[in-house]
């Protein structure tokens, strides 16, 4: 069992004004990193948008040999679309900086045991977010876009042709929504394991509520994804797997808490 000396706080007493000055410094570093990342992403906004549009472009190229296009209908639409692309990219690129600054601000006020308990969750959270975003981009997008494009009506099919001419702003909004939805949904193991660590939920409770959780995951997937079965199942199935992983992780952290309570 750790002694009070071993589980001490490394912080030293500071006046309120010094805490506020430190907070200002952390915020300025975070803001500076975000502005630099925003400028960089805006410079490469066309390339970033091309990367986001590649799953759709590849499918259209297969079907028509590159004779397809994307459009914008408002004079300012393309400009604001690239601003959104830059903002979206800057959030991703600057996340390590402002997450580090947040940790450096709150870590001195935590016990060493609390730091050890929180650090794995802080490291796992961005990794899971990237995994969720990658699943959406590399697996869900090609399947979902191919499903939607299958409803086109080619010329000579006995009716007027129906062909996709996607708007750049609408496509970007859909892609950003999907990436954020999958990335945030993949935080499920972090949230459940952390709640098990502090005693809000238990392993027995997670197992008992498994059937309700599965139904809830399909409902959540239906709400936050486009109205197609591919996206909904593509999000719900990984969430179910992550829920099972959360039960295993909760079982790993819960005994330690129980032992500490008995000691």
Count of domains forming the chain: 1
Please tell me the predicted confidence (pLDDT) of residue 154.
73
The rounded distance, in Å, linking the Cα atoms of 226 and 27 is 36
Greatest pairwise CA separation for the chain in angstroms: 82
Residue-level pLDDT at 195: 86
The verdict on residue 160 lying in a domain is no
Q: Is residue 187 part of a domain?
A: yes
Q: Is 124 part of any domain?
A: yes
For residue 10, being part of any structural domain is answered with no
pLDDT in tens, the chain (263 residues): 444 555 555 556 667 788 788 889 999 999 999 999 999 999 999 999 999 999 999 988 887 766 778 888 999 999 999 999 999 999 988 988 888 888 888 877 777 777 777 778 888 888 999 999 999 999 999 999 998 888 887 776 566 778 888 899 999 999 999 999 999 999 999 998 888 887 888 888 999 999 999 999 999 888 888 777 888 898 999 999 999 999 988 888 765 544 444 44
> Quick one: CA torsion of 252, 253, 259, 263, rounded to 10 degrees?
160
Please tell me the distance from the alpha carbon of residue 185 to that of residue 47, in angstroms, as a whole number: 27
68 phi-psi bin (left φ>0, alpha ψ -120 to 50, beta other): beta
- Under DSSP, the state recorded for 203 is H
Give the pLDDT of residue 5: 53
**Cβ neighbours around 117 below 10 Å, total:** 17
Query: Residue 119: which domain range?
Result: 18-151+165-253
Residue 100 maps to a domain: yes
Give the pLDDT score at 262.
Answer: 42
* Residue at 47 is within a domain: yes
CA distance 61 to 66: 4
9 occurs within a structural domain: no
Is residue 92 one of the residues assigned to a domain?
yes
């Amino acid at each position: 069992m750790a002694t009070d000396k071993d589980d001490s706080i490394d912080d030293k007493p500071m006046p309120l004004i010094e805490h506020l000055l430190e907070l200002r410094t952390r915020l300025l570093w975070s803001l500076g990193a975000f502005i630099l990342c925003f400028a960089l992403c805006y410079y490469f906004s066309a390339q970033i948008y091309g990367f986001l549009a590649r799953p759709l472009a590849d499918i259209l190229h297969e079907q028509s040999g590159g004779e397809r296009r994307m459009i914008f209908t408002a004079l300012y639409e393309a400009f604001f679309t690239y601003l959104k692309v830059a903002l979206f990219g800057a959030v991703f690129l600057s996340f390590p900086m402002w997450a580090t600054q947040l940790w450096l601000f709150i870590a001195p006020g935590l016990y060493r045991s609390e730091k050890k308990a929180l650090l794995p969750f802080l490291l796992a959270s961005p990794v899971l977010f990237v995994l969720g975003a990658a699943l959406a981009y590399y697996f869900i997008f090609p399947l979902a876009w191919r499903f939607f494009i299958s409803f086109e009506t080619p010329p000579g099919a006995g009716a007027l042709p129906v062909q996709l001419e996607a708007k750049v702003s609408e496509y970007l909004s859909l892609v950003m929504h999907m990436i954020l939805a999958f990335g945030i949904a993949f935080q499920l193991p972090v949230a459940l394991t952390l709640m098990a660590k502090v005693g809000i939920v238990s392993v027995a409770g997670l197992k008992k509520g498994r059937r309700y959780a599965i139904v809830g995951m399909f409902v959540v997937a239906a709400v936050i994804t486009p109205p197609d079965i591919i996206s909904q199942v593509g999000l719900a199935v990984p969430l179910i797997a992550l829920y099972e992983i959360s039960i295993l992780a909760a079982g790993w952290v819960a005994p330690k808490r129980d032992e500490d309570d008995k000691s």
